[in-house]
Structures are given as C-alpha cells and as structure tokens.
Structure 1
C-alpha cells in the first residue's frame, strides 16, 4: 500500500477514537433507558428520559460555538485536544451521578465535547488528507460513531451504568495519548507562516518528498483565509447568505444534515427497546438492539469500501428509498395493530424493518453528510458554516426526539413514523435535485464547480429573460 494512504488511514483511525466516544454518547441512552426505575436505582419520568436523551444535543449546540474562540488561535489539533476535557468529565458525571440533574450535567458536557468534535474534525481531516483519501476518511468518521454505538450496546446491556461509564472514559483518554503525536493541519501552520513544519506535515501525510503542488494549493487557501481574517464575525456570517456559491453550499449542507437528523434515526435508535416490546416479537429485545448495532456498523463499512468507486451522491440516492420503504412498513404495522387488526403473524416486521432502515441509514444518510461538510465550504466561511451546521444538527435532533416522544404518547408509534417517512421521501427528492458529486475532487475543484453552476444558472436565466423580451 502507498505510504501516504497508509499514514492518512492511521490519522483517520487515531482521530476517530474521539468520534468513537461520540458514538458511545449517542448510543448510551439505548441500553440505559430500560434500566431506569428497575435495575438502575434512579427513578425517572418519561419526560425526564426525553431530556436525558436530548440534553446531549443541546450540549452539541453549545459546543459548536467553541471553535470560534479556539480554532484559529491554538489550531485544529489544539482544539481537539482541549475537547477531551469535557468528554472525560462527562463520563465521570454519568457514571457517578445519584440524581437526574447530575445526569443532565454529564449529558450536556458530553454534547459540548461532541459539538466541538463534529465542527473541527471534518475540517482537520479535510485539510490533512489528499483527494484520494478525503472521501473514505470523511465517511470513516461516521462508521466509527456507529462502532461506538455498537460497543455501548454490547457492554451497556449487561453491565451497570457506573461500569459502562468507567469503560467508556478510556476512549477520550486513549485519544489524548495518541493524537498528541500527530501533526497540526498544514493549512493552520501555513497561515501562521510556519512553512517548514507545514511542508514536513504534507511530506509525512502524503508519503512523498515533493509536495510543491500541494503546498501551493495550501498557500492559495491560506491567502484566501488571510483576506477573510480581516472580516468581522458579522461579515463572515453575511458572506454565507449573500454570496451565491456559499448559499448553494449551505443549502446542500442543510439537505444532507436533514437526512441525518429529520429522518428519525435518533429517536428510533434511542427508543428501539420500546418498539420491539410493543410489537411483541419473540426474539429478545437485547438481541434486537445488538442486531441493529451490527447492521449500522456493517453498512458504514460498506460505504467506506465502495464510496471511492461509486461516489457519494449515488449512495445517497440508493439508501434514501430503502429508508422510506422501511419506515412506511413499520408505520403500517403499528397503525394496523392500534386499529385492532390481528397482526400476530407479523410481529417480526418492526425488528426486521428497523434493521433494514438502519442498514440504509448507515450506508449513506449517516456517514456521507460529515464528509460533504468538510469539502463544500470555501475557506472564508468554514468556521461560521461549521458552527451553523452543528447548531442545526443539535436543534433538529433535539426537536425530533421530543417530537417522537410527544406524538407517540398522544397518537401511537405509527404517527411519528409516518412523518419521518414523508420527510425522508422529500429529502430523497432534494438530494436528486440539488446535491452534486464531490468524490475524487480537490477542495479547489469543488469550489470551482460550485461557482460554475451558479454562473451557468445566471446565464440560463439571462437567456430566458432575453427570449421573453424578444
């Protein structure tokens, strides 16, 4: 294997230890919720359970603001190292808490750490990798979130909340001990006029001595970044919404993040034990949860394997209809059950189609948005875009989880599932219409393509206007 690819793969795995920790936090509620009021001494209400799930995403929103303060001062690497502080602390709160408010604190701290990670990690990987590995490394992040979720399912179903937290805290500690030896982003080093370390970083990461072409690309990026350095925070946000190229990138990001959050994955995975129990399928709930964990990991691994050959857009167009059909099938089952029909012969439907839904979701809707976000934004708006994306992720996920809890209690499990079905279908259409392919292209090529599409659209509008006048 090429030395550069091997080293960038190593960078991806080390970096993604922190992403695994995000997966541990994302999946923590699934094995823990059924234990409250029984095996776990804490007594919680259904409303408190919803907030225990949701407050992590509130923390993600708070954490997404931190990169504004840290990233351009101590670098991408320094910011990611600082992230280990709230992550380690969060597991101590979660494991040692004897009251619900302390669990809340732990979940908020976990979200803060995850919010910083989600905002900064795609940027770090996008700047330190080549166009050959950027796609797989970007999608690998989501795969390792899924591995973290499977791991927490596997241990959390069988051990106490305290034991689970003490095992999980090893992830951010291990990241701290390994990531400290990796290089800083060449873009950040060049911006600080540290050209020798920047060149050495490129040589090591790419596995070759002659990196003149890559260094020139980095210098062009930094030149644009320096021009933006004179912009105020207000100007940077304004740049996103006033420049057509950035508006298009932001629209693409919103579509993809909606596929990640509004399609119902967070509440379905968090409340899946209740879904299986309501269906009454004979296979144990624990076995079903492990099965979904395995499914999301395998589908994510398949995505990383094939994304270089198929491109990211095609995978999105394949996976979204799988999710639509799965959600609709589960919704039909529960609607028939709530209407009094005999569905005893079909109790297997929710378990099987939740797994199929997870396979589709894990194949593209879960891993690919993070990879896109690291690629489509121009340097001048990377930081505000990362913050806005993380805030949108936090707010939309919080809203979806609370929506599921309220609507499910009022109308039944089928009601929110029908809403998720409609949203997923709409997102499928939007992906087809508006999301371009970025696989195998440099960051510069992607920005040029976004500009060219806008210019082409303007010319077509001008031609139509001229024809109408004539």
Structure 2
C-alpha cells in the first residue's frame, strides 16, 4: 500500500549489502573494492544516519505534517540509489548509505505515527505490524535484484520505486489527527470520511478533539521518559526487548547473509539461500501479524526466542566443527542453510515485529513522539554494535564465536521476557498504563471489554 512503500524502499537499502558485499569485498579489479573493515562500516552506515533522521523527524512531523514528511522521504532515498549507481569509490557508498539512513530515521518515526492515527481501532494492531512486513519485503526484493543484476542496474531499478512511492502517496489524505491539531476541522472531517468509507464521523471527530485537548494539556517532556516511574518501566521493557532482538544477530545476519552462506560451503548457492531466507522471513512476519492478537504477545515471544536459541547454537556448532575441528562434514552441508531457515522462521514468529508493536502500546500519548525517536536512536546503536560484533568475531576468531555469542544473548533475552515483559493482549491502553504504575487492573474491566455486545448496544454505537 502507498503508505508503506517508504518502508519497502528503506528495507531495500538495509538489505543491499547482502547481495553486494560479496561482489566488492577485496575485489581489486573494481574501483569499488573495499576491505572487510570498510565493508562493515558501509553496512552499518544507515544505522548511523537513522540517529540524525529520528531526531529530525521528532520536530518536522508536527510542522510539515505526517503526509508530507513521509512523501518527501522518497527524495533522499532516490538520491542515495543514484549515488550508489554512479559511485566511483567507496566514499560515495558511505555518503549514499548515510543519506538513506537519515531517510530511514524519518520514515520509521512518521509512518507508524501516521498508521496509528488513521487506522480503525479494530485493525490497528494488524496495520501496525505491516511496518515490519513492508520492511522485510524490501530485503527480499533487493536480494532478488542484487543477486542477478549488476550493482549499477540494481540501484537504478530500485530508485524507480522511490518515484512510485512519491506519486502514489501524493493522493493519500493527511492524518485527521494532525489536521485537527492545526484547527483544520473541515479538512479533517473529509480525511476521516475517506478512511472510514464516507460514514458519519461526527462522534469520532469529537473523540479525536477531546484526545488532542487532553494531550495538549498534559504535554510531556523528554525527561518524563526517565523521571516518571511508569514511563521508565516501559523504557526498560522496550529497551530490553529491542536490545535482545538485535543481539540475537538478526540485523547482522541480514547484512552478511550471502557471506555466511558462502562460508557454509553448502550445495545451495549463497544467492539462492539468501533469497529463501528473506522469503521465509517475509511470510512468517505476515503470519505473526495475523495471529498476534489471538495468541498473545508474550507466548509468541517465548516460543520465538527459545527456537532462535536452538537454531543459533546449531549454526555455531556446525561452523565450530567445520573450521576448528576440520572434520569432514560433507554429508551435513545442508545444516547451515537449514539452521538459518529455522532461525528466521522462529525469530519472525515473534521477536521480529512484537517489540515494535509494544512500542506503540506501552507509552502514553504525551511522550510517545519522544519514545519513538529514542527507540530509533537506540535501535541504531545496538544494531551497529551487533553487526560490528559479527564482523570482528568472523575475521579474528571464527564465525562460530559470533553465533555462540548470539546464542548466549538470546538465552538472557528469554529470561528477560519471562520475568519482565508483560502480556498486553486484551488490555486497552488505560489498563496497560495502570499496570505500569503498579495499580491493580481489575479483571471485571477486562471481562466487560471482551463481553459480546447485544444488538441494542451495537445499534447505539452506529453513527
């Protein structure tokens, strides 16, 4: 859908090193030849740019509006692809990926905010999960393109998606929430009717107005994230989940997918294996977004990270036997591909998208913009460290040490999820905030919310 094309393009930039690094690492015949250390820096450059973009987005999204902010991210994405297409040295790649990272920081602040403000409450959770689905679709597309096209042609084809994203989003309505913040009442009514199918939206308009007035009176400060105990608890939960998510190796593995499959020496080619890897990730993230409201957040997280521990341990043990023990494992060359496919299936079931989902559930409206900004900066920081960890371990100690390190971190993540992460299934935002404040969440409130409505109650709620 148009609103998520920015995240598809973003995912393509993040996934670009997977098919490209094998082509340019230590390739002395190419002007784009780079060393392993330069490749590691190039891979994580978007994470550094995302810090700048996230901070900028916290200011411009309320000034220019959600629609324009999202629409104009297509410009730096387009510029970055063209710099890659015509790059004559590694420094142009660094600059291009830094620019793409800045656009990423803006996109991952503005798009979730836009979706949250336009979505009907009945489908908000599903639409929120579509952010991860769109991002991973970008990984899959770039691995398909980059595996069979030249670097230049891949970048040119990819840049065309930026043009499509710009012109299709031009016809999307602005967020009615933002329009009401700017006192554009009639424009907000028109926008809301487009999203709701031309029904009577008077009641919903009044609810949004009341929410905006309440939020403006209780406008939070950035320091409230740390000084208010309930916000601090939410920060610990989200920060822990995002940290253990990245130190399971997910982003690092996506950067080096083809390199890892090449080291495995499997009969399956690195190109084919990486395409399978990202296709499975895409499908399983869709499955997670469909079942998360029924299965619950915490059970899926526990199943997901437990399975990831097993898959990472298998992967590390294979490379240990192959590289350290120098054993003949010809009969088991299928293990590394199967292990990573197992990892991506189970990781995508919960750990891929649920931490982002909880980010939108655990923070009150008064500090949510600050929380989104801080979360994107924090994500960039921990993902950079995890990616550098994989590269350092691979180059100096063997890739098995990287996988064993990710295994240990995932075990710690499992303990964290069991004892710290709450279940938010079936709870409205007010109940979640009461839980974070340590106040009792009455069971009868939850039961009343889950109780089927009678025909009379349904008719009273119809506009």
Q: Taking structure 2 as the reference length, what is the TM-score of the superposition?
A: 0.89
Partner of 1:16: 4
Match for residue 346 of structure 1 among 309, 314, 332: 332
In structure 2, the residue matched to 1:449 is 432
Count of aligned pairs = 438
Report the Cα offset of residue 351 of structure 1.
Answer: 0.8
Corresponding residue of 1:5: none
Matched, 1:35 2:36: no
Residue pair 1:67, 1:383 contacting (<8 A) in 2 also: no
Say yes or no: does 1:331 pair with 2:321. no
Q: Deviations over 1:371-405 (max 9, x none)?
A: 22233321211221111101001111111111111
Distance 1:327 1:126 in 2: 34
Distance 1:202 1:430, change over 3 A: farther
60 and 150 in structure 1: CA distance in 2 versus 1, 3 angstrom threshold:
same
Give the Cα–Cα distance (whole angstroms) in 1 for the partners of residues 374 and 264 of structure 2: 39
Instruction: Identify the match of residue 294 of structure 2 among 286, 309, 325.
Output: 309
Distance 1:439 1:173, change over 3 A: farther
Q: Does 1:98 align with 2:102?
A: no
Shift in alpha-carbon separation, 1:130–1:314, aligned structure 2, 3 A? farther
Structure 2: which 5+ residue stretches go unaligned? 442-463
**Contact 2:362–2:432 (8 Å) recurs in 1:** no
Residue matched to 2:143: 153
User: 1:397 is matched with which residue?
Assistant: 383
CA contact (8 A) 1:257 1:369 kept: yes
Checking the alignment, whether the CA contact within 8 Å between 2:261 and 2:274 is kept in structure 1 is: no
Residue 290 of structure 1 corresponds to which residue in structure 2? 275
Q: Report the 3-state secondary structure (helix = DSSP H, G, I; strand = E; otherwise coil) of the residue aligned with 1:157.
A: helix
Q: 1:164-207 CA deviation, whole Å, 9 max, x = no partner?
A: 11111122211111112112222212211222222333332233
2:457 corresponding residue in structure 1: none
Higher mean displacement: 249-258 or 88-97: 249-258
Q: Is the 8 A contact 2:31 2:89 kept in 1?
A: no
Q: Secondary structure at the match of 2:326?
A: coil
TM-score by length of 1: 0.88
CA distance in 2, matches of 1:452, 1:330: 39
Decide which of 428, 431, 446 is 2:417's aligned counterpart.
Answer: 431
Name the CA distance, whole Å, in 2 between partners of 1:424 and 1:190: 44
Deviations 1:327-361 (A, max 9, x none): 01111111222133333322211111111111122
Kept in 2, the 8 Å contact 1:40–1:161? The answer is: no
User: Per-residue deviation at 1:362?
Assistant: 2.1
CA distance in 2, matches of 1:260, 1:23: 17
CA spacing shift, 1:260–1:22, aligned 2, 3 Å: farther
Superposition pairs of residues 210-229 of structure 1, within 5 angstroms? 210-228=200-218
* 1:65 counterpart SS class: helix
Are 1:54 and 2:48 an aligned pair?
no
Please state which structure has a larger fraction of its residues in helix: 1
Distance 2:435 2:290 in 1: 30
C-alpha change, 1:178 and 1:383, in structure 2 (3 Å) is same
Aligned Cα root-mean-square deviation (Å): 2.0
Q: How far 1:312 sits from its partner (Å)?
A: 3.1
Aligned equivalent of 1:67: 57
Q: SS at the partner of 1:74?
A: coil
Q: How does 1:349-428 map to 2 (within 5 A)?
A: 349-428=335-414
Taking structure 1 as reference, are residues 195 and 314 closer, same or farther at Cα in structure 2, changes over 3 Å only? Answer: farther
Supply the distance in 2 between the matched residues of 1:325 and 1:97 (Cα, whole angstroms).
Answer: 41
Which stretch has the larger CA shift, 397-406 or 264-273?
Answer: 264-273
CA distance in 2, matches of 1:140, 1:451: 28
